[in-house]
Amino acid sequence: MSSTPEIVLASRNAKKAAEIDVLLQPYGIHVRPVSDFPNATEVVEDGTSFSENAAKKARQTAKETGLWAIGEDSGICVDALKGAPGIYSARFSGPDATDEKNNQFLQEQLQDVPSAKRTAHYVCHVALADPSGEVRLHVERTCNGVIIREPRGENGFGYDPYFLIREYGKTFGELSPVVKKAISHRARAFGELIPKLLGENLFSQE
């Protein structure tokens, strides 16, 4: 893929866009956030799974921009809450949700749950759509951890300061970007996507 076209990321989350851009830069893939396209409308995330939401984002964004598009949907699933908040992670605490409110609400839900049973996993599902809106690739990966009671670290976003990786003894909020780039759910998903994207020469099939 000597001349890679631009890919639009169907997200207005600046921190998420920055993480993904870092993952794709080494491969010469130029990613533009959907906010660069004033005519692109907000995607209503009304799917019932990470897969459905990611595909909808990719399809709609590709059609509206006329470019290849990446739709990514991710969230945290807590075992003691039967997988919640899941696809509702970004708005767990309500329509005016913020990271702080979501984390506070999560702690309230887990206040009587012992530390050993506060296991959780992050999920990242990525869909790639061609300019016509056809989804050409799907990948999904996870990262296991545990929800601690007090935040640790200033890095990351969302639930990261509360998500402890036992093997490292640190939260996503404490891990360096280099380490997180290697082990996070998002890094693992894109680590699977990129070889497929490069290996199948999708862009040359336009």
198 or 85: whose pLDDT is higher?
A: 85
- What average pLDDT score do residues 168-172 get? 96
Catalytic residue among 73, 79, 96, 99: 73
**What percent of the chain has a predicted confidence (pLDDT) above 90?**
70
Q: Report the CATH fold assignment for 7-205.
A: Maf protein (3.90.950)
Q: pLDDT-based confidence at 2, cuts 50/70/90?
A: very low
- What is the model's pLDDT at position 1? 40
Average pLDDT over residues 68-79: 96
pLDDT at 83 over 80: yes
Q: What is the mean pLDDT of residues 84-110?
A: 97
Residue 73 designated active-site = yes
Lowest mean pLDDT among 21-30, 113-122, 141-150: 21-30
What value does the mean pLDDT take over residues 163-174? 96
> Is 69 part of any known ligand binding site?
no
Q: What is the pLDDT of residues 11-29, one digit of tens each?
A: 887 777 777 888 888 888 8
Distance of CA 101 to the CA centre of its chain: 19
Q: Which amino acid is it at 140?
A: E
Q: Quick one: pLDDT at residue 63?
A: 96
User: Quick one: pLDDT at residue 26?
Assistant: 85
Is 55 annotated in some ligand binding site? no
Domain residue ranges in the chain: 7-205
Report d(CA 84, CA 110) in Å as an integer: 11
Residue 196 assigned as binding residue: no
pLDDT mean over 133-153? 97
Query: Which residues, at least 6 apart from 141, have a Cβ–Cβ distance to it below 8 Å?
Result: 123, 124, 185, 188, 189, 191, 192
Q: What is the pLDDT of residues 124-140, one digit of tens each?
A: 999 999 999 999 999 99
**3 carries a ligand binding annotation:** no
Is 5 or 157 the better-scoring residue by pLDDT? 157
Average pLDDT for the chain: 91
